[in-house]
Every structure is written in structure tokens, then in C-alpha cells.
Amino acid sequence: MSETIVTLKKGEGRTIKAGGAWIYDNEIDTITGAFKNGDIINVRDFDGYPMGKGFINQNSKIRVRMLTRKSDQEIDRDFLAMRVRNAWEYRKTIVISSDDLNCCRIIFGEADWLPGLVVDKYADVLVVECLALGMDKLKEVILNELVKILEEDGYSIRGIYERSDAPVRKKEGMQPFKGFLYSSDKAGDNKFLNGGEFVTDVEIIENGVHYMVDVVNGQKTGYFLDQKYNRLAMQRICRNLASGLHNKEVKELKILDCFTHMGTFALNMGLALKNAGYNKSAVTGLDISEYAVSQATANARLNHLDNIVSFRAANVLDELPRLLEAGEKYDVVVLDPPAFTKSREATKNAIKGYREINMKGLKLVKDGGYLATCSCSHFMTQELFIKTIGEAAKSAHKRLRQIEFRTQAADHPILWAADESYYLKFLIFQIVDEK
């Protein structure tokens, strides 16, 4: 097969020249040479200057996803093993403790220079999301190398499950897929991805909290790892609140976790109270999903926190006004909603949604209490999110004292020039009534 060369238009390719990984269809001048979608091709600037190699897909507006800036680099097993090893070594370096490697994101697509691929580790199970055709062709080699590299450090993998069930796969000319890829019980099979089944309920430990993760039916890859250290920050605040109760006339705490999913923030805060010697009912978690509430309740029992933390199914947007009308006030309110926008075009409506939910949440916080609020949409920029919260505070007649601004955990690295890798904004405030 002759070498395939993608040549950019003059003045285009600004994203990849700045360090990004994507080339859009309207940036390309010519494509020479025979190829199939998903093949590795060479990229050159308008003047013939070599830009590197990536894989091409004419089904997608993201026409090329770059793998390397070296035009003479062979995209072979050694190259992919190097990318995987670098990703794992990075995780080993940035975690707070080695316990954090029990559950973490090992590969984060473009930010690990493996575009379109996500791999999460839940104890001894890997969950894969592959959203690019070219990466789908390289997936088996990458996973094989990853299992070997993990074994070198004493981490045995008993199973790999794929959760590539996002509709966006259709834009790549692929159908959504979920299913078993590998089981160590069938390791004698000559083919690495043997499709063997395994028990998919996995117990993980994060920040001292135990969870049962359902990698088949849970959201995304089964669990949201990106809030790990944000939950830890809320542990600290709640522990200190409970420890300081002996200096106050009020001896009870009330904490509300909205959009609780598997009970993650609620359980972190409940554990903090317990560790501070507080053993009364204090934390309520709300989620619209009955399934999520059942998971969260089971996790509370697993951690022996069901006397401190409870959950119920409710539409948060409807429940917050009802609580306000009932005169409820909380020491801590956490707002962790799903993305209100997944496109730039829907940002205006998302702003209204974030403003409304924050205004309602603010009104429920006691004078001097605390609000944690976040957005997980990269279209809701940091500047826009901060502005929206400020507008909500003005409408609610509250003053904000910022404690921390945080982003996603470092195992979800932010690659500058790849805007899509920066999505999570997390703010903690002390709330003071206007007087």
C-alpha cells in the first residue's frame, strides 16, 4: 500500500501546532494515497513540513487523531507499550498514596496521547471505553501490554469489560458496544481478548470508603473517579465541623448531598463525621434514580454508616424548593449535577440550569455554612461557571467566601490545547447571609 499523506490547508492545524491531537475535516487540503478508515497516515503542513502520524476516519468530523509528532515513528507494539508504560508511571507518581492505585484512571485519551481510549482500573478489573475507530484497531495490543505492565508491579487483572456504549461511536461509523473482553480464567486461550465472563461487581476502596461498583450497569465506566480528591476535601471540612461541635451550643449537623449517584460525597462526609466521633443521623443523599439510591444505601451498610447517612429518591430540582418551604437549613450542601450541556449550542440553557440549581442550593445553607458546587461539562468554562455562581448568589442574597477551586483528579490530566480534557470545575464556599 502506498504511503497516505494528509496535507493541511495554509493557516490551518492551529490546534495540533499548539499541542492538541485533532485535525478537523475542514482543515485538510488534500489526501493522497490509498487507505481505509482507521489506518495510520502521515500529516504534513501546507508547505510539506512533516507534522507526525495519526489515524484517519472519513466518517468523523475529527478527520485525524494524532498519535505522534515524529513522522518517522513506527506505530507498532513497542510504541504502544511505551505510551501505556508512560501513562502508568505517571499515575504512580501523582497519587497521594499507593492505595489510590486500587482504583484510578490509567489511560485518559488524548491527555495520554492515546486518543479516543479510556481505561479505568477498579481493583482487579479494567473497564475500557473506546470511541475512535483507529484506536479500536489498536485496542488489543494496548490492553495486552497494559495487563503485562500492571503485573510487573504486582497488580493482577482478572477481567476486562468494555463500556463503549456511548452514541458518539456512531459518528465514527461504529455501533455502540458493551461486553466482556477478557477473563484470566481463560488465560490459556491463545487469543488475549478471549471474551471470558467474570463476576462484574467489584469492591473498591477510595479515601477509606468501600463501594461495590457495577461495571456493567453503572454510569460511564461504572463509577466517577474524577471527584476522588474533591470528596477528600469535603471529608476534611466535615471532620472539622464535627470536631468543633463541643465549642458550640448546637450539637447536631445537617448535610445534604444532591445528585448523590452511588452516595459518594455523602459517604465521604459520613465517614468524616464517624471518625470525629459523631454517630447520629446527619447526612441525606438525593438522587432521581431508584437504582442509584439502592446502590448508595447498600454502600452505606457496607461501610457501617447507615446510622449516619441515608438516601432517598427525589428530583433534586423539585426537592430543594420543597425543603426550603419546610424551613430546612443545612450546614453543608453539595451540588454534583450531571452535565447540563454536551454541546456548545446548548450552553445558554445550561447556564440557566446551573444558575437555578445553585440559587436553590444556596438558600438552604445556614449562615456560615458551606456549599460545594461543580460542573462536569467542558463547554461550561471556568470563567462562565464562576460568573453563573456569582449571579446565583446575588439572586439568593448570599455572600460567597471561596475556600477552594479544584478540578478533576490528576489521573484525569488536563492537556493544554486539548480543551475537551478540561471539564470538571469544583468550588467550595462558605456562605454568609447578606446583613
Closest CA relative to residue 62, chosen from 127, 135, 165, 112: 135
C-beta separation of 311 from 263 below 8 A:
yes
Taking the CA atoms of 19, 22, 25 and 31 in sequence, report the sign of the dihedral they define: positive
Rounded CA-CA distance 20/18 in Å is 6
DSSP secondary structure, 315-377, as one string: -HHHHHHHHHHTT--EEEEEE-PPPS-SSGGGHHHHHHHHHHHHHHHHHTEEEEEEEEEEE--
Query: How far from the centroid of its chain's Cα atoms is residue 157's Cα?
Result: 22
**Residue 238 is a catalytic residue:** no
Assess contact for 339 and 397: CB atoms under 8 A: no
If we measure between CA atoms, which residue out of 157, 169, 171 comes closest to residue 215?
157
Q: Treating both helix axes as pointing N-terminal to C-terminal, what angle do 133-152 and 77-94 enclose, rounded to 10 degrees?
A: 60
Q: Are 143 and 160 in contact (CB under 8 A)?
A: yes
Full strand arrangement of the beta sheet holding 425-433: 309-313, 283-287, 255-258, 330-335, 365-375, 425-433, 398-406
CB atoms within 10 A of CB 136: 20
User: Smallest Cα–Cα separation from 344: which of 384, 286, 393?
Assistant: 384
Q: In whole angstroms, give the CA distance from residue 180 to residue 216.
A: 9
Q: Describe the chain by its helix, strand, coil percentages, rounded to 5.
A: 35, 30, 35
Contacts (Cβ under 8 Å, ≥6 apart) of 320: 258, 357, 360, 361, 363, 364
**Selected catalytic residue, list 104, 130, 374, 376:** 376
The residues carrying an active-site annotation are 376
